[in-house]
Amino acid sequence: MNLRSFLVSLLWALLLVVCTSPQRLVFAANAIEDTPSGTLYLRRSAQEPVTEALRLATRMQVQVTGNVARVHVQQEFSNTGEDWVEGLYVFPLSKDGAVDELLMRIGERTIRGEVQEKAKAQALYNDARAEGRRASIVEQERPNLFTSAVANIAPHTTATIEITYLETLPFRDGRYTLNLPLAITPRYTPGAPQDATAEMPAATAAIMNAALGTSATPERVKAVRQRVSIEIDLEPGFALGEVSSLHHAVETQSAPSGKRVLLHTDDAPADRDFELTWTQASEKEVAGAAFAERIGGETFALLMLSTPRQMDEAVPAREVTFIIDTSGSMQGPSIEQARAALSMGIGRLKQSDRFNVIRFASDYSKLFSSPQPVTDKSRALASGFVAGLSANGGTEMRAPLEIALSGPSDPELLQQIIFITDGSVGNEAELIKLIHDKIGEKRLFTVGIGAAPNAYFLGEAAIAGRGSYTFIAERDQVGARMRDLFAKLEHPALIDLKVQWPKGMSVDLAAPLPMDLYSGDPIVVLARMPEIASGEVVLSGLVRGTQWTQRLPVTSVGDASGLSKLWARERIGTLSRQMHFGGDAEPLKAAIVELALKHHVVTEFTSLVAVDDEVVRSAGSPGHVEQAATSAPVGGAWATVGFAKTATSAEVWLCAGLVCLGLSLLLTYARFRRPALESRPA
Amino acid sequence: MSVGASRRVDSMLKAAAVAAFAAGVVCLAAGAWIPIKAWAAQLLIDAAWRREHTLSRIAVPWPWADTRPVAKLTVGEGTAATTLIVLEGSSGRNLAFGPVHDVASVAPGALGNSVIEGHRDTHFKVLHTAKAGDRISVEALDGSRSVFVVTDVRIVDSRRTRIVLDTNAALLTLVTCYPFDAINPGGPLRWLVTAERLRSKPAVASVATSRDT
């Protein structure tokens, strides 16, 4: 009977709605609230409960030989859930690294990744994922920001991938530095609101949303204590002086030809970059070397030398414009460091100098309408201005940079712009182009602030601005690092650098020689040549009209040294720079892809992909996608909290109650109406 | 239709009506219990607050409670003022009893951003009338009082936003769900009231700046 079955199903539906709905909603809410920070969670959709199955551990092994570091980054994706999972991770790597290897470990077997064009790599990966085979892919999102993905991780198993890159270690400001980025300062893309509440990095969100094909909760960069372990074998080829880790406690052991540096606690603070510095035991040794590698009928050479640290001369009068970033991402210790750096910079100015200060966030303001002479009065006004600076708002860098770059320049004065920022911007290319186009006779120096500044942007801005850069990670480094910078600002630059190769060989340089080199800056030259290089390389230049010359003997090294990859990476960097500055995109892209495929390196157009032949997931659910959280830098604006669930289910209960009572009334009404209906004649 | 069948339908309708009535009563009771619990808990907590003051030791509002009062929050002024006792720790259970202070954030009045969350339909219902310029005062356990002035009221999407903790000013951020009259308790929107602590002395003297546009 229709009425009867209708009533029965109605009752069941009612019971289901009333009894399960509010509880399920409340349960989902509790799951969010009770998640301790440091785990990730991602909703499959707004309705489904939260899952958090993916764990990620990182292990880094570094082999430093002479001036080159080979870094192995092992990422362990553990699926602790009952579902199959595709794991995603966004991670920072060195801005100069040549990423050339991806190994996927499956039990005893190792599958080696291939460099392919980005679209082809993605297709290979997607096919393997759909067919239930194991696969992984590593892509470059920005020059120092990468993503990795691992498909078909079975429930309760671990998938391990190993990414390898090569990097040169220049001798800079009297020391060697190895930087292992561990945290990402979320990038600010102009146009988005940023205040006491902070938006997620839109670029990353867009990338990940595209990868996921869904609108995942952008709960990505967060204050997590990540599992990281680091092992460094240091064989510099000379007697080591001081070895120190700037931000992490490390254990140092003696090794036959150097030192072994270890950091391994289960939860190393990954909220700041790992930085190891070392010096030579003897200052007298020349901090320079030339190496050559013969591979495939070509020779690749690497020259490294530090400019003389003291290029003493009478300091010329300068006109200095300080630009200071007071955006939201500079909150906390960063703005204090920036203020201290700025105060020191102003304090160092001479009577004959002129200066101005520009601060910016979403807007900008200037201390003086035009640069002023250094007097007691202008100093007092400046220190008041500096003391009043606090960090809030967006990072609109363009306008203050334009103002500083377009000001009239006095030919009698050395024009210097000192740009103090964490560089957390998403429109890097646009800003670098602006600097490149407008720099003229001015010189731009960048000062990177914070636990994880955007090194790529700060380095490129200094190249485009024909200046140099320095990084200040902690409050107690301000003095030492600013002294490095003053040495560059107050001493004449080395110009007209020339390199004379053995036997007058003509060579193909990976990048044009730098136009200006400052006290303490390294000279790094990567070249390709047809013949075998042997003999001596002669470097020469001018320091305020005086000739400077340095000779370096060339040492031959084995073909596994990776000099060709370093050359390719540097050349690719030069080509992408040309692209940023408005070069013809298509041929440049083709050249980059060709180089990348030949030398097996990851670029913005090529990715590493590893796929297995064996099908592990024969049928059933492909599972879901999860993303491991990336550490946010300590102390900055990214010490944040999410939101608790601040609504009760009272209204849901009350509504359900009213609906039930209404239904009860309706049923009663229907019951009393029935006899009247039936008494009618048929 | 036979008489027997008609009787069966009749008794079924009766049973259904009774069941629906019972379910309705249960639901209404469950719905009513939430605000009653919220109100009663504040009474008990208020007593604990006074005990903590007089005995100068940590007092819990009821023997099995795993939280404790940390601050007394007054929103609004004069007769319209609402006083609430804030509990430590933002768990769902604590939220049922009162507004909660997020332990990751600083204590109210300290340098940094202090975050207090509450339910939109019980304790923090009062926030829907909050506007810039309103005063909020917070009394700490030691009796010290901080007065805040509301600087910003805004709606944010909790999926795309996080609250910054490290600020250069002493801020207080009150959070509740939005919209205030929504039925669904799982919505992503939040109502954020940001207030800055009033300083005893005027803020740092402003410096002459010129602005180009």
Q: What is the pLDDT of residues A447-506, one digit of tens each?
A: 988 777 788 889 889 989 998 888 887 778 888 888 888 888 888 888 888 898 887 778
Choose the closest CB to A647 out of B20, B121, B163: B121
Q: What is the pLDDT of residues B71-105, one digit of tens each?
A: 889 988 777 788 898 988 777 778 888 898 887 77
For residue A640, pLDDT over 60 is answered with no
For residue A665, pLDDT over 50 is answered with yes
Q: At how many degrees (to 10) do helices A2-33 and B3-55 cross?
A: 20
CA distances, A18 to each of A230, A657, B30, B92 (Å): 54, 8, 11, 21
For residue B33, pLDDT over 60 is answered with yes
Compute the CA torsion angle A308, A554, A514, A506 (nearest 10 deg): 140
Question: B148: pLDDT confidence band, cut at 50, 70 and 90?
Answer: very high
Q: Which residues of A touch B173 (CB under 8 A)?
A: 196
For residue A410, pLDDT over 60 is answered with yes
Domain coordinates of chain B in residue numbers? Answer: 67-197
With vertex at residue A649, the alpha carbon angle to CA A643 and CA A653, rounded to the nearest 5 degrees, is 170
* Residue scoring higher pLDDT (B124 or A20): B124
Percent of chain B with pLDDT over 90: 10
- CA–CA gap between residue A609 and residue A109 (Å, rounded): 16
CB A93 within 8 A of CB A60: no
A332 touches chain B (CB under 8 A): yes
What's the whole-number average pLDDT of chain A?
Answer: 78
Query: Which CATH code of 3.30.420.40, 3.90.1150.10, 1.25.40.10, 2.40.260.10 fits the domain covering B67-197?
Result: 2.40.260.10
B44 burial type by CB count under 10 A (0-12 exposed, 13-18 middle, 19+ buried): middle
Q: What is the pLDDT of residues A159-190, one digit of tens each?
A: 999 999 999 988 888 888 998 888 766 554 33
Those of residues 9-28 in B touching chain A at CB distance below 8 A are 9-10, 12-14, 16-21, 23-28
Domain coordinates of chain A in residue numbers? Answer: 2-30+648-679, 31-280+608-631, 288-310+494-599, 318-490
Closest chain A CA to residue B18? A664
* Residue scoring higher pLDDT (A39 or A47): A47
Closest chain B CA to residue A672? B10
Specify the pLDDT at position B160. Answer: 57
* Residue scoring higher pLDDT (B61 or A335): A335
Q: Which residues of A touch B30 (CB under 8 A)?
A: 22, 653, 657
Query: Which CATH code of 3.40.50.1220, 3.30.430.20, 3.40.50.410, 3.40.50.2300 fits the domain covering A318-490?
Result: 3.40.50.410
Specify the pLDDT at position A572. Answer: 93
H-run or E-run covering A56:
strand A54-65
3-state helix, strand, coil in chain B (%, to 5): 30, 30, 40
Domains A31-280+608-631 and A288-310+494-599 share a fold: yes
Q: Which residues of A touch B6 (CB under 8 A)?
A: 674, 678
Least-confidence region, from A182-186, A526-530, A532-536, A573-577 = A182-186
Q: Which residues of B touch A331 (CB under 8 A)?
A: 164, 166-168
Question: B61: pLDDT confidence band, cut at 50, 70 and 90?
Answer: low
Q: What is the pLDDT of residues A591-634, one digit of tens each?
A: 999 999 999 999 989 999 999 988 888 766 666 777 676 665 55
For residue B202, pLDDT over 50 is answered with no
Q: According to the 3-state scheme, what is the secondary structure of A495-534? A: EEEEEECHHHCCCEECCCCCCEECCCCEEEEEEEECCCCC
Q: In what order do the strands lie in the sheet with A494-500?
A: A508-509, A522-529, A298-306, A288-295, A546-557, A536-543, A494-500, A516-517
The CATH number of domain A31-280+608-631 is 2.40.300: no
DSSP state of A586: H
Q: Which residues of B touch A30 (CB under 8 A)?
A: 92
**Exposure of A255 in the CB half-sphere (CA atoms within 13 A):** 18
Query: Which CATH code of 2.60.40, 3.30.70, 3.30.960, 1.20.1440 fits the domain covering A288-310+494-599?
Result: 2.60.40
Closest chain B CA to residue A201? B160
Q: CB A640 to CB B162 under 8 A? A: yes
Most confident of A225-234, A569-578, A671-680, B78-87: A569-578
Question: By C-alpha distance, which of A324, A325, A330 is closest to A345?
Answer: A324
Q: In what order do the strands lie in the sheet with A606-615?
A: A114-117, A606-615, A133-142, A145-153, A85-92, A624-628
Sign of the Cα torsion A321, A327, A329, A331 reads positive
Most confident of A19-23, A209-213, A528-532, B61-65: A528-532
For residue A331, pLDDT over 90 is answered with no
Those of residues 13-32 in A touching chain B at CB distance below 8 A are 14-15, 18, 22, 25-26, 28-30
- CA–CA gap between residue A64 and residue A166 (Å, rounded): 10
Specify the pLDDT at position B185. Answer: 76
DSSP state of A633: P
Question: By C-alpha distance, which of A604, A527, A507 is closest to A568?
Answer: A527
Choose the closest CB to B204 out of A11, A22, A387: A387
Q: Residue A489: what residue type?
A: L
Choose the closest CB to B122 out of A30, A648, A671: A648
Specify the pLDDT at position A308. Answer: 67
Q: At how many degrees (to 10) do helices A2-33 and A650-679 cross?
A: 180
CB B99 within 8 A of CB B75: no
